[in-house]
Amino acid sequence: MGKQKLRVGRIVVGTVLVLVLGLAFWQVLYHSPGDRKDLRYQAWKLGLYPMDLDEATSTMVGDIYPDRLVVGKTEEELIKKFGYVTTLENASEYVKYCYFNSPYNGKQVLILRKSDWMVLMKDGRATDLILVKGC
């Protein structure tokens, strides 16, 4: 029985050691706060790290699936995740120009903070995330 406990203990310690070394290696490779692979950004996406929210919205540009952060959420849930949202009326002139010259004109939208991310809303829930760029 003692050898079995020792074996299980070694497996647990080895697994933890490999996990810690893997995370440390990952952080060395992707240490830039603006990198979508950075552990801080990944932890923020999971709600585990209080990242600078303006930096987070900037980092979302490089994210492969940024829509997963907003689609299905209510305005209140968006505010909880991103700190605040901006109405179209209070958006930048650039975002307004792009909105009015897009297929989304006339639809309800919110802007994530003061970023170029426009969230298409329908029936109180986010249905799409659009990066307003190059319109």
CA–CA separation, 67 and 130 (whole Å): 8
The full set of domain ranges for the chain reads: 52-131
Tokens of residue 77, six digits: 């849930």
Question: How does residue 18 score in pLDDT terms, banded at 50, 70 and 90?
Answer: confident
pTM: 0.76
Q: 75-127: per-residue pLDDT in tens? A: 999 999 999 999 999 999 999 999 999 999 999 999 999 999 999 999 999 99
What pLDDT is attached to residue 7? 75
What would the two tokens of residue 119 be? 């969230």
